[in-house]
Amino acid sequence: MNSFYVTFGKFHKHSINGKIFDKDCVVRINAEGFGHARKRAIESFGNKFCMISESIPDTSHYSKGIWVLNT
């Protein structure tokens, strides 16, 4: 499994299981590859996210830190 990191744009806001995923957090998705990670991101957030990367973003820009997607 590889880790992929999803970030959100200014107007992207999602409520999943009582958690708010938005521009202030990074979501880590563990997946077999980029395609699988992208599929999981779309299933969870639709097309309302900014980017997916294998690199950990600079967390100083995200006040909520990194959250793991457990869906």
What pTM was computed for the model?
0.91
DSSP 11-49: T--EEETTEEESTTEEEEEEESSHHHHHHHHHHHHTT--
In this prediction, residue 7 carries a pLDDT of 97
Cα 39 to Cα 5: distance, rounded to the nearest angstrom: 13
Burial label for 54, CB within 10 Å (0-12, 13-18, 19+), is exposed
pLDDT in tens, 9-67: 999 999 988 999 999 999 999 999 999 999 999 999 999 999 999 999 999 999 999 99
- Give the residue among 20, 4, 29 at the shortest CA–CA distance from 64: 20
In this prediction, residue 69 carries a pLDDT of 86
